[in-house]
């Protein structure tokens, strides 16, 4: 394969309203501010990535603004210094930057560029093994249980294979009770986004065991691997970790401690495709099922998620769903669609496999910066 000669990256912030507000235990999102990264090589070829940092530091410590700063001021110069020539070298080149995984994840645009130059679909370039992925949905907290039931029914009608409900203290067991009573046989899980504590909430969390849940996602704080291990010993429902796992080392610690039985992998949270693959390989080796999480991405981040969901070990339905659930009009063409069986057919054209609508991105851009790469 020919080596890359990186020339520059273009950062853009776009603003895009969500079709409907998305509420979690840590807050409500109505408009997304999104950092899109486009990397160019000296021939003019380019690849796209999406930084999945949120507007505020509430899911994790990063924000669109911190990721922008880290990307422009540190990621660019480190890539230049390392004279990165393959996508596989990016992770090591950026290792001096502590934390800030989402900022690092944005420049995984380089994988799209490399796959395009190699004229291969990104998923094959990454080592994917399936041409169709299984999809679930994440449903935010709703005003009333009736709206929640309607939403669940609607998503099931669309074919989605797994329903995940967002929960928070006071809006938890009774929601699951009602949804389970109405839909006795569906594959159901809950996501607490770290809203509970072992000491205060054990009796509440234990009650979920009655409802045959596929998993409870991230009940406790991100750093609480020890408490998650204690909690897992107290409950039958498998714990899935999201926020807690930002590296291969975290996955290994969680496994060795018994903090979870399932892992949610997000490209941005772990800092890029290389770390995704390290965690996925570790999980396969140790028999831990993984699935791909979502961060309310545009089509660019969604396309990367589709590609990584084809890797071995991604055996559970992910949170990767149709563009139309989020946006009136996506920034890729065609938009991501889901079959009646709740699957996404993986694209067969080079790179991320979707056309990026540059005119639409231009129209949505509120900030831009060009960062030189390469000497």
Closest CB to ligand OSB among residues 294, 317: 294
Closest CA to 87 of 41, 23, 29, 43: 41
Least distance CB 20 / Mg ion (angstroms): 19
Residue 271 in tokens:
């800092």
Answer whether 105's CB lies under 8 Å from 91's CB. no
From 116, 151, 164, 166, the catalytic residue: 166
Q: Given the rule CB under 6 A, which residues bind ligand OSB?
A: 59, 138, 191, 193, 242, 293-296, 319
Q: Nearer to ligand OSB by C-beta: 28 or 92?
A: 28
Which residue reads 């234990």 in tokens?
Answer: 206
Active-site residue, 266 included:
yes
Piece of the chain touching Mg ion by CB under 5 A; list 15-23, 148-156, 204-212, 234-242: 234-242
The single residue among 41, 112, 172, 191 that binds Mg ion, judged by CB under 5 A, is 191
- The residue range among 53-61, 164-172, 209-217, 279-287 that interacts with Mg ion, by the rule CB under 5 A, is 209-217
Which of Mg ion, ligand OSB, none does residue 250 bind to, with CB < 5 to 8 Å depending on kind? none
- Name the residue number minimizing CB distance to ligand OSB: 294
The 10 Å CB-count burial string (b at 16+, else e) for 9-47 is bbbbbbebebeeebbbbbeebeebbbbbbbbbbeeebbb
Q: Does 242 bind Mg ion (CB under 5 A)?
A: yes
- Residues 9/15/19/24 CA torsion (nearest 10 deg): 80
Closer to Mg ion at the Cβ: 172 or 242?
242
Residue 30: strand, helix, or coil: strand
Q: CA-CA distance, 24 to 18, in Å (whole number)?
A: 14
Could you give the count of Cα atoms lying within 13 Å of 202 in the half-sphere of its Cβ? 11
Nearest residue to Mg ion by CB is: 242
**Which entry of Mg ion, ligand OSB, none binds 295, CB below 5 to 8 A by partner kind?**
ligand OSB
Active site residues: 166, 266
Interface residues toward Mg ion, by CB under 5 A? 191, 217, 242
């Amino acid at each position: 394969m020919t080596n890359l000669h990186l020339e520059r990256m273009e950062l853009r912030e776009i603003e895009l309203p969500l079709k409907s507000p998305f509420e979690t235990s840590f807050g409500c999102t109505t408009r997304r501010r999104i950092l899109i990264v486009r990397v160019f090589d000296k021939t003019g070829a380019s690849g796209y990535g999406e930084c999945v940092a949120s507007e505020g530091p509430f899911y994790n410590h990063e924000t669109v603004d911190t990721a922008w700063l880290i990307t422009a001021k540190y990621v660019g110069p480190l890539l230049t210094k390392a004279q990165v020539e393959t996508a596989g070298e990016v992770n090591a080149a950026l290792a001096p930057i502590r934390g800030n995984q989402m900022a690092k994840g944005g420049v995984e645009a380089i994988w799209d560029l490399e796959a395009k130059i190699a004229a291969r679909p990104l998923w094959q370039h990454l080592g994917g093994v399936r041409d169709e992925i299984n999809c679930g949905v994440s449903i935010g907290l709703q005003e009333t249980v009736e709206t929640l039931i309607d939403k669940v029914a609607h998503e099931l009608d669309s074919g989605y294979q797994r329903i995940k409900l967002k929960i928070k203290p006071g809006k938890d067991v009774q929601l699951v009770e009602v949804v389970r009573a109405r839909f006795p046989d569906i594959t159901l899980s809950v996501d607490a986004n770290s809203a509970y504590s072992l000491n205060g909430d054990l009796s509440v969390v234990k009650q979920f065991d009655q409802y045959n849940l596929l998993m409870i996602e991230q009940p406790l704080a991100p750093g609480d691997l020890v408490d998650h291990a204690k909690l897992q010993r107290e409950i039958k429902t498998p714990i899935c970790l999201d926020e807690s796992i930002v590296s291969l080392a975290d996955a290994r610690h969680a496994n060795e401690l018994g903090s979870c039985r399932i892992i949610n992998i997000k490209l941005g949270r772990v800092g890029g495709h290389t770390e995704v693959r390290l965690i996925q390989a570790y999980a396969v080796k140790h028999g831990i099922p993984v699935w791909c999480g979502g961060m309310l991405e545009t089509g660019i981040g969604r396309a990367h998620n589709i590609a990584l969901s084809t890797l071995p070990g991604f055996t559970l339905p992910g949170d990767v769903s149709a563009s139309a659930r989020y946006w009136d009009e996506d920034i890729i063409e065609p938009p991501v669609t889901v079959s009646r069986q709740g699957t996404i057919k993986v694209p067969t054209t080079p790179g991320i496999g979707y056309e990026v609508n540059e005119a639409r991105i231009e129209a949505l851009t509120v900030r831009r910066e060009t960062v030189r790469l390469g000497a």
